[in-house]
Structure 1
Amino acid sequence: MQWGVDPLLGERFVQGLAESFRVVYFDYESYLFSNPYPEGLTAERAARDMLEIADAAEVGRFSYYGYSWLALVGLQVAIRTDRMESLVMGGFPPLDGPYAEMLEVTRRTHELARQNWLRPGASVPPPESPPSMEEHDWDSAPVTVDPQVALQFRTLYESLADFDDRRVQDKLGMPRLVFAGERDMIAYGERFGGVTVDIAGPIERHRRSMEQAGWRVELLRGADMDHVKAMQPDAALPLIKPWLEKALAPR
């Protein structure tokens, strides 16, 4: 998973959870930057990867936490297995998710990456230092990501073009938590289709429906509580850890 600005924050997050749980953690995003599946990263493939990781760690039943697009992947895993004990989705709503908007953004990103690659003298950054897929200044930042890397994320959202998150709620019997920062919304300029990827809005609007479907719903408050801020350990760990302890307590 992508930890944000300071990688030590991710280490602290894992250490906090490890006080109460066995934690299997892995940097799937960096793996995909180094080993892209250009036309193969479908929702089905991503879910299968997660289950294969659980198998490799010799984990039978497990809880899953993912943030942003990795939260989306967690939902795809949950509807394909009976091994999930609990699900935590951060920074992506389980109802009315911005699939169409993200498809437009990733299509434009792929096109811009291809154009940059075709420029004379253009080069792709090394895979060991991938650019973030969550840049704040998308309108002015150059798109230097490898086109093959960009294509796989386009492929992911194309595979979800007809996905209806409302129709899968009855497949989710495990305890589940969704959270986001109340300022989690990114408005993209014309380079990226002029779309707005709104994360907090659907969670606020559909809170009642989510709770009726069995979700614990939390919006983290604060004027600066955006997509990156809400994923940091200081914001997320005090919410996730006690919720997991309660959700997984013996009955």
Structure 2
Amino acid sequence: MPLDPATGVYYELHGQGAPLMIGLPLMASHQAIFGESQAAVLRGYLDRLADRYRILLVDYPAIGKSRDILPEPMTAERVCADLLGVASAAGFDRFAYCGYSWSAAVGLQLATRSDRLTALAIGGWPPIDAPYGALLAASLAKIGQVEPSSMVVLRSAEQYVQWSQFYASLQGWGEADAAASIRCPRLVFFGGDGDLVEAGHPVPIASTIRRCRSDLELTGWEVREFPGHGHEVTLQAALVVPVIADFLDRALVSAETGEFDSSRFRKN
């Protein structure tokens, strides 16, 4: 499978149909990184989507088979440029995007900085009132004492700085106006018990989405809660993927032909 020479990002393509990029915690080298015990998670997504979607998986940022990237330049602008670049390398012009947690925050940036997204499905991240400040503080506190769970993915502890750089670049971002301005179909899903505490800093994810649900729905967002599940709900493919698939099918697949209907996504 190819390595995009411009971005240094390794990627894989699976299935046929409407173009769909899926971000972390899924990745091109998912099984190699997490082992056979977690390979079922990726299969749970592919088995339910690859029959009608051309799925782009990436090793990003600087994980798996991708080239190293210095952590300091990892701003939201850089992340979007890299992912749009690898999408182009994979032959994707306009595409749907699905991301969770960090990659959900990335999805919001892609949707507001580019007109190339045909649908946006994000989980475990509030489109408005998101805890950018809390995660910046938590990521700064973890520098020099990175958890073993993070090191499963990262190549070195020094790489952890990239998360601080990303969140720092979004301090003061006008998220409410940006989230309301997204015109492609959009879904946010979350585990009902998905609030976190990171490095002693409360990170209210589930409670924020729940509190903002009415405002989100008024601006066109679909909101789906999975009660009794925590932040790791995205790893439960049998539970989550049918919801994502239903949303994408309604957004991207013509009921008459079963084929991608690009005319539904002209700018308005």
TM range (shorter): 0.7 to 0.9
**How many Å apart are 1:111 and its aligned residue?**
4.2
Where does residue 232 of structure 1 map in the other structure? 236
Q: Does 1:205 align with 2:215?
A: no
Q: Does 1:131 align with 2:164?
A: no
1:154 alignment partner, SS class: helix
Where does residue 95 of structure 1 map in the other structure? 128
Where does residue 15 of structure 1 map in the other structure? 47
Q: Could you report, residue by residue, the CA deviation over 1:163-200 in whole angstroms, capped at 9, with x for unpaired residues?
A: 12102124300000000000101124xxx2x2111110
Q: Could you report, residue by residue, the CA deviation over 1:37-67 in whole angstroms, capped at 9, with x for unpaired residues?
A: 2211100011111101110111111000011
Separation (CA, whole Å) in 2 of partners of 1:34 and 1:215: 36
Where does residue 159 of structure 1 map in the other structure? 169
Where does residue 243 of structure 1 map in the other structure? 247
**Match for residue 26 of structure 1 among 58, 80, 86:** 58
Task: Assess, with a 3 A threshold, how the Cα gap between structure 1 residues 231 and 96 changes in structure 2: closer, same or farther.
Answer: farther
2:96 alignment partner, SS class: strand
Task: Assess, with a 3 A threshold, how the Cα gap between structure 1 residues 232 and 132 changes in structure 2: closer, same or farther.
Answer: farther
Task: Assess, with a 3 A threshold, how the Cα gap between structure 1 residues 68 and 11 changes in structure 2: closer, same or farther.
Answer: same
Separation (CA, whole Å) in 1 of partners of 2:90 and 2:234: 28
Gaps in structure 1 of 5+ consecutive residues: 117-124, 134-144
Residues 206-221 of structure 1 aligned to structure 2 (within 5 Å): 206-221=212-227
Q: Does 1:181 align with 2:191?
A: yes
Residue identity matched to 2:52: S
| 9-18 or 53-62, larger mean C-alpha shift | 9-18
**How many Å apart are 1:15 and its aligned residue?**
2.6
Q: Does 1:81 align with 2:102?
A: no
Q: Does 1:168 align with 2:191?
A: no
Separation (CA, whole Å) in 2 of partners of 1:241 and 1:109: 36
Matched-pair contact (CA < 8 Å) for 1:2–1:29: no
Q: Does 1:195 align with 2:209?
A: no
Where does residue 137 of structure 1 map in the other structure? none
Bigger strand fraction: 2
Gaps in structure 2 of 5+ consecutive residues: 1-23, 27-33, 255-263
Separation (CA, whole Å) in 1 of partners of 2:135 and 2:50: 33
Separation (CA, whole Å) in 2 of partners of 1:217 and 1:231: 18
Q: Could you report, residue by residue, the CA deviation over 1:1-39 in whole angstroms, capped at 9, with x for unpaired residues?
A: 224861321122123111221111123256289724221
**How many Å apart are 1:211 and its aligned residue?**
0.3
**How many Å apart are 1:92 and its aligned residue?**
0.7
Where does residue 104 of structure 1 map in the other structure? 137
Q: Which of 1 and 2 has higher RCO (CA within 8 Å, sep 6+)?
A: 1
**How many Å apart are 1:249 and its aligned residue?**
3.1
Separation (CA, whole Å) in 2 of partners of 1:80 and 1:103: 21
Residue identity matched to 1:88: A
Residues 34-73 of structure 1 aligned to structure 2 (within 5 Å): 35-73=68-106
Matched-pair contact (CA < 8 Å) for 1:87–1:174: yes
1:163 alignment partner, SS class: coil
